[in-house]
Amino acid sequence: MDSENSACGNPNPNPTLGPSKLMLAFRFLRALSLVHRTTPASSRTCRGRRIERAAYASMAYSAGTGRGWSRAVLRRLHHRARRRAVAPRRLSTTAGNRAEALRQLVPGGAGMDYCTLLEETADYIKCLSMQVELMQGIVDSSSSYGP
Amino acid sequence: MSSRRARSRQSTSSSRITDEQINDLVSKLQAVLPEARLHGCLSMQVSAAKVLQETCNYIRSLHREVDDLSERLSELLATTEASSAQAAIIRSLLK
């Protein structure tokens, strides 16, 4: 994260809580509250899945629609809400299908050209690791102060 | 959106993506990976294939962590009160 800040000339010198991370935290916290309010206490697995979807949703919303992977995540989430079928994966028709395994891991990767895929992957990893850090921080705080 | 389409059209038709461009993107990707994954890579060049492989492994492990943390958060929400959970979240943000 530090190298990213210095390389891009990020005006915010704080490596731990930049504005993007704060927005991410705010969105996730809001989604988490909603899940807590609306999911019955008995359905633990259901709540776990909803929290996971909230994590990806807040991640994608924070990244904005300027990224292929975030658009793909939001599409997938909205389609899931409307019809419970798994959408057929669009086969890659653009420049070759190098890095097949990576295409399956990065949302929207199947339809991207190789260069875009590499760019999107780097951004996806940054956001994903930020989300993991956030969730880990919440778990750690709750564990140390909880009952 | 249109510029993105134009970019991909240009890349497929002219095939003008140089190796240099690809190496540049691969090294940017390498910079995002945690250093432990590319053991012994104080040398400049790690093969692109290695970087891609480690990237896949890293993404898979991140997905697993999200899955695991979601379950743990689910447990926490079940056992703690909403107010103390929110207090804990705010505490973690302010650290």
Q: pLDDT tens for residues B36-51?
A: 766 655 556 678 888 9
* Burial label, B17 (beta-carbon count in 10 A; 0-12, 13-18, 19+): middle
Whether the predicted model's global pTM rises above the 0.80 cut: no
Compute the nearest-CA separation of A85 from chain B (Å): 21
ipTM exceeding cut-off 0.85 for this assembly:
no
Hey, what are B4's tokens? Answer: 């993105």
Give chain B's radius of gyration (CA, Å).
21
Buried-exposed string B21-33: b where 16+ CB fall within 10 A, e elsewhere: eeeebbebbbebb
Buried-exposed string A37-52: b where 16+ CB fall within 10 A, e elsewhere: eebeeeeeeebbbbbb
pLDDT band at A4 (very low <50, low <70, confident <90, very high): very low
Give the B window 14-73 contacts with A, CB below 8 Å. 15, 17, 21-22, 25-26, 28-29, 31-33, 52, 55-56, 58-60, 62-63, 65-67, 69-73
3-state class (DSSP) for residue A65? coil
How far is A41 from B78, CA to CA, in rounded Å? Answer: 6
Rounded (5°) CA angle A67-A69-A71: 70
pLDDT averages per 10-residue partition of chain B, 95 residues: 54 66 90 75 72 94 96 84 68 66
Percent of chain A with pLDDT over 90: 43
How far is B34 from B46, CA to CA, in rounded Å? Answer: 14
Mean pLDDT for chain A overall: 79
Q: pLDDT tens for residues A25-74?
A: 889 988 988 888 888 877 878 899 999 999 999 999 999 999 999 999 99
Position A68 scores a pLDDT of 94
